[in-house]
Chain A
Amino acid sequence: MDRKREIYSVELSGTKDIEKTDKEDGKEKSRGLKNKCLERKKNHQKEELKKELDLDDHKLSKEELEAKYGTNIITGLSSAQAAELLAQHGPNSLTPPKGTPEIIKFLKQMIGGFSILLWIGAILCWIAYGIQYSNDHSSSLDNVYLGCVLALVVILTGVFAYYQEAKSTNIMSSFQKMIPQQALVIRDSEKKTIPADQLVVGDIVEIKGGDRVPADVRLLSTQGCKVDNSSVTGESEPQARSCEFTHESPLETKNIAFFSTTCLEVSAPPVGTATGMVISTGDRTIIGQIASLASGVKDSKTPIAIEIEHFVHIVAGVAVSVGIIFFIIAVSMKYHVLDSIIFLIGIIVANVPEGLLATVTVTLSLTAKRMAKKNCLVKNLEAVETLGSTSIICSDKTGTLTQNRMTVAHLWFDHQIFVADTSENHSNQVFDQSSATWASLSKIITLCNRAEFRPGQESVPIMKKTVVGDASETALLKFSEVMLGNVMDIRKRNRKVAEIPFNSTNKFQLSIHETEDPDDKRFLVVMKGAPERILEKCSTIMVNGQEQPLDRSTAEAFHTAYMELGGIGERVLGFCHLYLPTDEFPETYSFDVDTMNFPTSNFCFVGLLSMIDPPRSTVPDAVTKCRSAGIKVIMVTGDHPITAKAIAKSVGIISANSETVEDIAKRLNLPVEQVNKQDAKAAVVTGMELKDMSPEQLDELLANHSEIVFARTSPQQKLIIVEGCQRQDAVVAVTGDGVNDSPALKKADIGIAMGIAGSDAAKNAADMVLLDDNFASIVTGVEEGRLIFDNLKKTIAYTLTKNIAELCPFLIYIIAGLPLPIGTVTILFIDLGTDIIPSIALAYEKAESDIMNRKPRHKKKDRLVNPPLALYSYLHIGLMQALGAFVTYFTVYAQQGFLPTTILHLRLEWENDNVNDLEDSYGQEWTRYQRKYLEWTGYTAFFVSIMIQQIADLIIRKTRRNSICQQGLFRNKIVWVGIASQIIIALILSYGLGSIQALNFTMLRPQYWFVAVPHAVLIWVYDEVRKLFIRLFPGSWWDKNMYY
């Protein structure tokens, strides 16, 4: 109860928040009447909520209810009343959680990440031009153009990232569209079918078996009504509903059915429907409140978002500090401040990998697409990677680990337990079917069953047919259909003459049939029910087709079997039959089920049959994979501990040889308290125990046991468990399908909703949707997530490398006064031109080793960009690249006449527009334009040599540890597309656009393209040596410092 109060208080504060923002909205709008009306509505809503907390509708009598809601149970509301109420309360639907407004998302893309740095660059450009212009009105527009180019770059990458995000969100919204629900309502004394969202408080609705309850309903008349409350309370057992007030708490009382739960069945007589009065609609329903609890849980940043932020900080830090240091150096070297600003811009542009964030987005969405093909639909792009870093999966049981349908698992007859095939298609039933007992048993199973297939499904495989009836009966129906063939036909041949349906008081179900043998005029009474009740009614037992008296030893055998099956969490049913003697019960005998004018004891016990919701066949394998991948799988279920433990054992969540504290106690014959808790690897914790635990105890539990099952937990406890796991610094994935799961889904680092069974609220709160509801798909997700993390590392390393080669020219230009080796615009052509496709290509790289065999990365220790990565990229490969590019640069200048010694400190004269006869190393004289042209040729040469070396960089980045030869040079075709794209873009820029002056490209002589090739080869060899040493000396200094 404490827990509940706590949750409700969360709810209250949550609604307060909404209230606040709404009020603010209202103030903004402040428009007389309308405003007042709004306010009134808000207040009303608030009251409504408060009332909900001490909801007392379940305590009221029908008359009181009629008075309270101004309705009439017989005639219902009038249309006018309904319309008024609808206008007042709004439609009966859950408001989807408020998303971030599109414009905010867009602006976030515009100023997030590196964009802000580039904006600064652009603004500095314009400021520089402003200063220039105020000094000299004829100053060139170069800086304005550069500023515009930078702004354009930011806007384009921003728009691109936004578009990518929007595209992946769109997949989701199209998926969310659902068929509108209908409700049967009594209005103006007429029965009408209206869309469920038109329901208002006070409406009288009729609910049939199989319907979804259209709102929170106080039941007025019903019989044998059962609802599936799993989405509210997590109970997977059907809950009986009646008209009587049975419990103080609205959640527990039997006369309220909750919105969006499913009404499983309503007994046929007298009306076949349950009638109820709508007592709350839309967001004011219990479900609505739980859903709003989810929106109160704050969205935490995804691990990859944190990593990217970390990376942006590193790069921005380097850019800004290098920029400022050189700004100061430049100023103290007596450069004009204006020039220093231009240098600063150059340094920023060189340092910022403009294309990288767009590349990351593309990479993530490529993976998202790949995962969607494997049934993992990713709603939030960044969540793609989160699964990869997941260290704990809190999995729901029903539907995720299990098939979510009762299935016959074991049979017991002839003193023997037989195992039935529980796989998805039941195809492989191997137990011995020759015994005559089986014939009798199968007959009872077939006949004592009210479930029926929905008509019109002839072509559907048996296991997939829809059945009218409860879970156990469905299981039995399908089982017998598989075993015996056409069940309906058998039932027709054995005409039913009377029947007593199952009810909770007598706990058995009975039916009386004529036999199919026309000579046998006896009636057959078949009965099934709780085993102990069935056994009570039996005096004989059938063994090998022969009736034997039920003696003590047989009874014991029965008990052993019953306990054994019950002990593994299965629901056990007993079956017995009795042939009525023809003399007492002639053909014309009329049976009366109310007076029971037939024997209900001295039956012949035939057998037991146990059912379970069996695990999906792919799950045990998936759990093993998770385990070897270092991921802890925790089961959190609302189900019974015994069942939960049994399923956990069968899927490997509790491995075969591990024991719980209770197991150890039992084995050693000790009281539970005396067992050392550290000895137990596994633990089964119920909701009740969890309720009494302090957070510290929970932490201890989570830390000390590697195999944990939480049973009988409430949705709120799920949230507590998730928080507990997160306190351990774990990245937590939560699977869930019910509305009740949505807070936990939201709280988790990655919430995974079930696509088929999942409720919309769960899907809304989740980051990922499993389209096939299959736990094994999570493993695929983990694999993809880890791969993308590795590949992002490679992409970033690749992208960062050239930054040094782009930065050095500026630094040397400032310090040594060389003619500028590479222009700012040219740098942009590398960052956003030649480098884009190759860096995306790395996303297609296959894993180097079995990524599913290593531990999940530590959130705080294994960073995306770690010091070795930055150092190796910047200072090893980066410097080598810069060297190679400078060699090309000097070659070009030397071959044109400027030997390296000549160009040192030549900058002032070089850039002087009035010096038109600057002498080179050979006495030739150059005009300013000639020099400019040579400078552009230098840019082009520098650009080309960076491009050539980036090809080598791309190839070495394919692996981080293995040799390229091990990885295969040609396995990733996209890398070659990338290389081709680099070369083609460079060719186009040099030879195609070389005549356009603004781009500063020239037609480069063919031989200059090859100057950097030896450096490229050197880079490759260098990296191979690095990898070789890493492989040779694992754990050494080298490994620690050179492996990124």
Chain B
Amino acid sequence: MRRQLRSRRAPALPYGYRYRLDDQDEVNQNYLADEEEEAEEEARVMVVPDLEEEEEEEKGEEEKEEEDSHSQETDSAWWRKLQIVNEYLWDPEKRTSLARTGQSWRVMIRPFAHSLNFNFNVSEPDTWQHYVISLNGFLQGYNDSLQEEMNVDCPPGQYFIQDGDEEEDKKACQFKRSFLKNCSGLEDPTFGYSTGQPCILLKMNRIVGFRPERGDPVKVSCKVQRGDENDIRSISYYPESASFDLRYYPYYGKLTHVNYTSPLVAMHFTDVVKNQAVPVQCQLKGKGIINDVINDRFVGRVIFTLNIET
């Protein structure tokens, strides 16, 4: 299957139309106002000549624009307008071109239950059983045995960069189910649902070639979105660092990075007010992380409600 996909990939279209996974972000994320700085690094890691050319082109445009605007200096209003246009074409501070930016993380949670409202009654297993099944199913790929067999145990705290042929198969780092401790479902097969302490897993949406800030892993922190902050009295995070380790990045795409296992952070809501809907917002925290986009409510954060009845 993998081979098939790959073979379809390259020669199917002429060079200009080759699928360039790395620059998908432009469209992907271009409505963002902010920008992360790793865009510069990106080119180094994933060598795609086209991208560089494009950027140069854009810079050339920018210079031209500036020349134009210099000639108009006398008229300050014109000058300002041109500057706005200029910034629109290329904003050196934010490193955006045509108001497009680099990328940022989206997150999603598990169990996935067609909505982001977790309503269940502790004493009625029927109301939460499907969450358990969903989580179990999701975590099958994280079983320790499987991970040990397929993936390598790579050193934590640094990117797992695999240079070399673009089409060469890439190794994946282990993320064992057991990392999730109480939320692994190994000790408590109900993931805490039976006790009114539900586990919810947070995962970041995969983006090919994208890496979080070097040396500063992205942390997860949850709180009540609005209302009484004390509605959630305690949350446990697994792994305890509540962060996504750098070794899981970058992702090389499913064609070569076959066994890639998304890192997870489990949030164990051990003490939540019962019998009322509690809106929870889990955010990614870290340098340059965007988590307040209005249009897309999954950028760097996820909002869901917990309504645990007893």
Do the beta carbons of B253 and A923 come within 8 Å of each other? yes
With a cutoff of 8 Å between Cβ atoms, the chain B residues found around residue A929 in the complex are 295-298
With a cutoff of 8 Å between Cβ atoms, the chain A residues found around residue B296 in the complex are 927-930
Q: Complex Cα distance A896/B22, Å?
A: 9
Do the beta carbons of A895 and B108 come within 8 Å of each other? no
Q: Complex Cα distance A922/B208, Å?
A: 8
Do the beta carbons of A896 and B24 come within 8 Å of each other? yes
Of chain A, the residue at the smallest CB distance from B8 is A899
The segment out of B12-20, B62-70, B274-282 that lies at the interface is B12-20
The residue in A927, A991, A995, A1011 that gathers the most chain B C-beta atoms within 10 A of its C-beta is A927
Interface residue B77 (Cβ < 8 Å from any Cβ of A)? no
The interface residues of chain B, by DSSP majority, are classed as loop
Do the beta carbons of A896 and B257 come within 8 Å of each other? no
Interface residue B171 (Cβ < 8 Å from any Cβ of A)? no
With A895-B24, A922-B255, A995-B99 in contact, is A914–B115 under 8 Å at CB?
Answer: yes
With a cutoff of 8 Å between Cβ atoms, the chain B residues found around residue A991 in the complex are 98
Interface string of A905-932 (1 = CB under 8 A from B): 0000000101111010111111111100
Interface string of A984-1013 (1 = CB under 8 A from B): 000000010001010000110101000100
Interface residue B211 (Cβ < 8 Å from any Cβ of A)? no
Shortest B168–chain A CB gap in Å is 16
Interface residue A894 (Cβ < 8 Å from any Cβ of B)? yes
| Interface residues in A910-956 (C-beta closer than 8 Å to B) | 912, 914-917, 919, 921-930, 933-934, 937
Of chain A, the residue at the smallest CB distance from B30 is A1003
Q: Complex Cα distance A924/B209, Å?
A: 10
Interface residue B59 (Cβ < 8 Å from any Cβ of A)? no
| Interface residues in B133-154 (C-beta closer than 8 Å to A) | none
Do the beta carbons of A923 and B31 come within 8 Å of each other? no
Interface residue A14 (Cβ < 8 Å from any Cβ of B)? no
Interface residue A726 (Cβ < 8 Å from any Cβ of B)? no
With a cutoff of 8 Å between Cβ atoms, the chain A residues found around residue B251 in the complex are 923-924
Of chain A, the residue at the smallest CB distance from B207 is A924
Interface residue B181 (Cβ < 8 Å from any Cβ of A)? no
Do the beta carbons of B206 and A1005 come within 8 Å of each other? no
Q: Complex Cα distance A891/B17, Å?
A: 7
Interface residue A897 (Cβ < 8 Å from any Cβ of B)? yes
Interface residue B27 (Cβ < 8 Å from any Cβ of A)? yes
Interface residue B100 (Cβ < 8 Å from any Cβ of A)? yes
Q: Complex Cα distance A13/B21, Å?
A: 82
Do the beta carbons of B20 and A930 come within 8 Å of each other? no
Interface residue B175 (Cβ < 8 Å from any Cβ of A)? no
Q: Complex Cα distance A1003/B207, Å?
A: 21
Do the beta carbons of B100 and A1003 come within 8 Å of each other? yes
Interface residue B44 (Cβ < 8 Å from any Cβ of A)? no
Shortest B198–chain A CB gap in Å is 18
Do the beta carbons of B106 and A916 come within 8 Å of each other? yes
Shortest A929–chain B CB gap in Å is 4
Q: Complex Cα distance A521/B297, Å?
A: 122
Interface residue B46 (Cβ < 8 Å from any Cβ of A)? no
Q: Complex Cα distance A915/B114, Å?
A: 7
Do the beta carbons of A923 and B100 come within 8 Å of each other? no
Interface residue B28 (Cβ < 8 Å from any Cβ of A)? yes
With A923-B254, A927-B296 in contact, is A937–B27 under 8 Å at CB?
Answer: yes
Of chain B, the residue at the smallest CB distance from A934 is B27
Do the beta carbons of A922 and B98 come within 8 Å of each other? no
Interface residue B260 (Cβ < 8 Å from any Cβ of A)? yes
Interface residue B205 (Cβ < 8 Å from any Cβ of A)? yes
Q: Complex Cα distance A675/B57, Å?
A: 89
With a cutoff of 8 Å between Cβ atoms, the chain B residues found around residue A917 in the complex are 106, 108, 203, 205
Q: Complex Cα distance A759/B16, Å?
A: 72
With a cutoff of 8 Å between Cβ atoms, the chain B residues found around residue A1002 in the complex are 27, 30
With a cutoff of 8 Å between Cβ atoms, the chain A residues found around residue B253 in the complex are 922-924
Q: Complex Cα distance A912/B116, Å?
A: 13
Shortest A1004–chain B CB gap in Å is 9
Interface string of B251-278 (1 = CB under 8 A from A): 1011101001000000000000000000
Q: Complex Cα distance A654/B24, Å?
A: 78
Shortest B131–chain A CB gap in Å is 15
With A930-B106, A1005-B27 in contact, is A924–B206 under 8 Å at CB?
Answer: yes
Do the beta carbons of B106 and A925 come within 8 Å of each other? yes
Interface residue B36 (Cβ < 8 Å from any Cβ of A)? no
With a cutoff of 8 Å between Cβ atoms, the chain B residues found around residue A1007 in the complex are 16
With a cutoff of 8 Å between Cβ atoms, the chain A residues found around residue B299 in the complex are 927
Of chain B, the residue at the smallest CB distance from A895 is B19
Q: Complex Cα distance A914/B113, Å?
A: 9
Q: Complex Cα distance A894/B10, Å?
A: 12
With A923-B254, A924-B24 in contact, is A916–B108 under 8 Å at CB?
Answer: yes
Shortest A44–chain B CB gap in Å is 76
Shortest A943–chain B CB gap in Å is 15
Do the beta carbons of B16 and A924 come within 8 Å of each other? no
Interface residue B26 (Cβ < 8 Å from any Cβ of A)? yes
| Interface residues in A296-331 (C-beta closer than 8 Å to B) | none
With a cutoff of 8 Å between Cβ atoms, the chain B residues found around residue A924 in the complex are 21, 24, 205-208, 251, 253
With A916-B106, A922-B255, A924-B253 in contact, is A1003–B99 under 8 Å at CB?
Answer: yes
Q: Complex Cα distance A924/B25, Å?
A: 11
With A922-B253, A923-B257, A925-B205 in contact, is A896–B27 under 8 Å at CB?
Answer: yes
With A891-B13, A1003-B100 in contact, is A923–B208 under 8 Å at CB?
Answer: yes
Which of B5, B20, B115, B295 is A921 in contact with, Cβ under 8 Å? B5
Interface string of B25-45 (1 = CB under 8 A from A): 011111100000000000000
Interface string of A879-908 (1 = CB under 8 A from B): 000000000000100111101000000000
Shortest A922–chain B CB gap in Å is 4
Q: Complex Cα distance A946/B266, Å?
A: 48
Of chain A, the residue at the smallest CB distance from B116 is A914
Q: Complex Cα distance A115/B298, Å?
A: 43
Of chain B, the residue at the smallest CB distance from A902 is B5
Which of B8, B21, B31 is A933 in contact with, Cβ under 8 Å? B31
Do the beta carbons of A923 and B106 come within 8 Å of each other? no
Shortest A1036–chain B CB gap in Å is 38
Interface string of B1-13 (1 = CB under 8 A from A): 0000100100001
Do the beta carbons of B106 and A927 come within 8 Å of each other? yes
With a cutoff of 8 Å between Cβ atoms, the chain B residues found around residue A896 in the complex are 24, 27-28
Q: Complex Cα distance A463/B299, Å?
A: 89
Q: Complex Cα distance A997/B30, Å?
A: 13
Q: Complex Cα distance A991/B254, Å?
A: 33
The residue in B19, B30, B112 that gathers the most chain A C-beta atoms within 10 A of its C-beta is B19
Q: Complex Cα distance A1002/B30, Å?
A: 10
With a cutoff of 8 Å between Cβ atoms, the chain B residues found around residue A899 in the complex are 8, 19
Do the beta carbons of A923 and B116 come within 8 Å of each other? no
| Interface residues in A332-391 (C-beta closer than 8 Å to B) | none
Which of A923, A1005, A1011 is B26 in contact with, Cβ under 8 Å? A1005
The residue in A891, A922, A934 that gathers the most chain B C-beta atoms within 10 A of its C-beta is A922
Do the beta carbons of A923 and B260 come within 8 Å of each other? yes
Shortest B89–chain A CB gap in Å is 10
Q: Complex Cα distance A915/B298, Å?
A: 11
Which of A891, A923, A995 is B206 in contact with, Cβ under 8 Å? A923
Q: Complex Cα distance A894/B8, Å?
A: 12
With a cutoff of 8 Å between Cβ atoms, the chain B residues found around residue A1005 in the complex are 26-27
Shortest B165–chain A CB gap in Å is 17
Known: A912-B114, A1005-B27. 15 other contacts (CB 8 A): A896-B28, A899-B8, A915-B112, A922-B208, A923-B253, A923-B257, A924-B24, A924-B207, A924-B208, A924-B251, A925-B207, A933-B28, A933-B31, A1003-B98, A1003-B100
Q: List 21 A-B contacts (CB under 8 A).
A: A891-B13, A894-B17, A895-B24, A896-B28, A912-B114, A915-B112, A916-B106, A917-B108, A923-B254, A923-B260, A924-B21, A924-B207, A927-B106, A927-B205, A927-B296, A929-B295, A929-B296, A930-B296, A933-B28, A934-B27, A1005-B26
Q: Which 3 A-B pairs have the closest CB atoms?
A: A923-B254, A925-B205, A929-B296
Binding site for A on B (CB under 8 A): 5, 8, 13, 16-17, 19-21, 24, 26-31, 98-100, 106, 108, 112, 114-116, 203, 205-208, 251, 253-255, 257, 260, 295-299
